[in-house]
Structures are given as structure tokens and as C-alpha cells.
Amino acid sequence: MEVILKEDINSLGHRGDVVKVADGYGRNYLLPQKLAIEATANNKAVIEQMKASAVRKSAKEKVDAESFSTQLSEVELVFERKVGESEHLFGSVTSSDIAHELEAKGYTIDRRKISLDEPLKTLGEYHVPVKLHRDVTAHVKVVVKGDQPEVVATAAAATAE
């Protein structure tokens, strides 16, 4: 089945592309979700208008994403987790945790846009990429701290000397 994409879909293509998909995928997912339309002769004539509209819409989204990216680059998220002896976390910081913390600060971002290959399991400072647009990626500063007070860690370092 051939369909015309109305939205960007990571595994298929970009808005306005004509792609060939399995019949079930097209009928049961893409068409009901209004992510695509059937590639009929009439719809193919409309494709040029859609592409022009998509270019304008994408350009506007990119400008918005770039301004949002500058706001996000100034954000610092601090997570406090229980820590074992070798500074290994009991638990981890996931993309859902980051999305929830960003939402608490007033930034609504889907957790799937946070490009965290695997959860953060060690203490430290990380710069986590957030994909806002296909051409714009922001980096959010994430600091993972232990739950033990700094005074205890400083006292332990002083006694070791």
C-alpha cells in the first residue's frame, strides 16, 4: 500500500513523502491516526501543496525550536539518588525522570525526544541531548548527586590524608 505522510515518522520518512508500507500498518495505524493519507491520483495532486506547506511549517518550527533550544541550554537539573560505596547509584536517572523534572520547571517535552542511550547510573555532570526538531538539538545539563551530605565526604577525605 502506498501512502503520503502527513507528519514526520522516524522509521518511514518526512512529511509529504510517498512511501510503501504494509497494508495492515497503513490501514490500522497510519490512516486512523491521521499520520498519512492514501496515495490516490487525487491525493498525489495535492502532494505538491502539502510539500510547500510542510516547508513553511518546518521553517517556522525550526525557528521556534532554536529559540527554545537557547532557553533549555541554560537549564540545570539536579537529581539526588542513593549511592553505594564505589559511587554507583541504587537506581538511575532515566529520560522519564528528566522529562518530569523539566515539566516541573515549566518546559513540556516528550520523554522520547530526550536522547539518553542508557540511564545515568553514576554520579557526575552530564549534557543530555534533547531533539527539538530534526535539525535542532538542545543540551540540558544534568547533575547527579549522592544523597550523603558533602560534609561527610569532605571529612572522609580529610581523615584519609
Between CA 148 and CA 7 the distance in angstroms is 47
Question: What CATH class does 75-160 carry?
Answer: alpha beta
Residues forming beta bridges with residue 88, ordered by sequence position: 122
- Domain ranges in the chain? 2-65, 75-160
Buried/exposed 34-52: b ≥16 CB within 10 Å, e otherwise? ebbbebeeebeeebeebee
Q: What is the CATH superfamily name and number for domain 2-65?
A: Ribosomal protein L9, N-terminal domain (3.40.5.10)
| Chain-centre distance for alpha carbon 96 | 10
CA–CA distance, 10 with 55 (Å, rounded to integer): 17
The residues, ordered by sequence, that sit 6+ positions from 113 with a Cβ below 8 Å of its Cβ are 130, 131, 132
| Amino acid letter for position 117 | D
User: pLDDT tens track of the chain, all 161 residues?
Assistant: 999 888 888 888 887 788 999 999 999 999 999 999 998 888 877 777 777 787 888 888 888 888 888 888 888 889 888 887 777 778 888 889 999 998 988 888 888 888 888 888 888 899 989 888 888 888 899 998 887 654 444 444 444 45
